[in-house]
Amino acid sequence: MEPRVKRIYQNIEKQGGSAPDVIVIANATEPMLDMTFFYVTRLQVGRYEGSIAFLYPDGKLTVVTSLLEAESASKGDFELNVFKTLDEFVQIVDKALMGAKRIGINAEELTFKSYNFIKSHAGTDAEIVDISKAIKATRLVKDEAEIETMRSACKIASDVADNIISHAKIGMKEYELAAELCYMMQKKGAAGPSFETIAAFGKNSAEPHYSAGDVKLEKGHFVLLDFGALFRRYCSDITRTYFCGKASEKQREMYEIVLEAQRRALDAIRVGETASKPHIVAAEYIDSTAYKGLFTHGLGHGLGLAVHDGGGLNPRAADVILEEGMVFTVEPGVYVPGYGGVRIEDDIVVRKNGPELLTTAKKDLVEF
């Protein structure tokens, strides 16, 4: 029996719901894949487009996949059904749903087409219920196997962060440095980047979700790099801000304020505290400086099989209580439009005695 399946059912009951007879986790085509499929199956190799996982209250897990994925899927610890034709696929699904009066779905990651397929093969009196809230709560708290995998993803990103500036040259374009980041991560064992790499020079660093363009690196530029490694399906996410040439007094001030805001936020991350508290601490500190109102996003987001893996450290998270095993980014920033921005981001796991840093790259102010 799969303990992760059991945890999903336990969270349904904790949230006051009635346990479904079966939960259906259905993949469409990439990128519309439900990461919960990989969470419960623990499969690390393969795409599993069109595959389905059936989860049962006793922890039983059944996977339905095509012959294409059969070899990879056979490495999993679950009941496996392999189909060769569409008719075989439909027969397997009909059997799995037969007699189910209450069917759970992860509505947040289910396509409309997949929903209609499930509905059309359920009994006429079957009730389909959304249990995505319980799935999100389950995935938010990582087990030690997940954390160990994420530690590896974070080590790759940290090693690259400590070495990337030796590859930054005057005249280099943003997209060239972004490409170098991805290359270095893959050389260290990453399957690829965990999201679109941000390399922002100069005033572009004031855009938190900037996409690397063709701006050339010049003396005096902020160099903000936000990137992550994908390792065995798990994500890391790190940001470091560097300075091309000697940092100005204002640049240095911004950097030191953001670094102090992060330090204060990390000190506020404690088991039993609300998930909004660390953000409030960081924001109040930044607002006490000359950069009031220039921290324009939440302090952090959940991290795991997805780069935004549910939950977050932000003002809206007052009803979420921090638990051991939750993994978040902690990324305060200061952004001055038309001038530039500083962000410092690390990945942490909540522990009884405070946060454990998963990313370990140096945070000294770097001029090159």
Q: What is the pLDDT of residues 46-98, one digit of tens each?
A: 999 999 999 999 999 999 999 999 999 999 999 999 999 999 999 999 999 99
Say yes or no to pLDDT of 1 above 90. no
User: What is the pLDDT, as a whole number, of residue 185?
Assistant: 98
Of the candidates 42, 195, 18, the one whose C-alpha atom is nearest the C-alpha of residue 104 is 18
User: What is the pLDDT, as a whole number, of residue 358?
Assistant: 98
User: What is the pLDDT, as a whole number, of residue 307?
Assistant: 97
User: What is the pLDDT, as a whole number, of residue 86?
Assistant: 95
Query: Which residues contact residue 16 at a Cβ distance below 8 angstroms, ignoring those fewer than 6 apart?
Result: none
Say yes or no to pLDDT of 18 above 90. yes
The strand pair at 102-105 and 127-130 is best described as parallel
- Work out the average pLDDT over 257-281: 98
Q: What is the pLDDT of residues 286-322, one digit of tens each?
A: 999 999 999 999 999 999 999 999 899 999 999 999 9
Q: What is the pLDDT of residues 195-247, one digit of tens each?
A: 999 999 999 999 999 999 999 999 999 999 999 999 999 999 999 999 999 99
Measured over the CA atoms of residue 40, residue 305, residue 358 and residue 312, the dihedral's sign is: negative
User: What is the pLDDT, as a whole number, of residue 171?
Assistant: 98
CB 228 within 8 A of CB 327: no
Mean pLDDT of all residues belonging to the chain: 97
Q: Which residues pair with 346 in a beta bridge?
A: 330
User: What is the pLDDT, as a whole number, of residue 195?
Assistant: 97
* Structural domains in the chain, sorted by start: 3-140 (3.40.350.10), 144-357 (3.90.230.10)
pLDDT category of residue 26 using cuts at 50, 70 and 90 = very high
User: What is the pLDDT, as a whole number, of residue 254?
Assistant: 98
Say yes or no to pLDDT of 263 above 90. yes
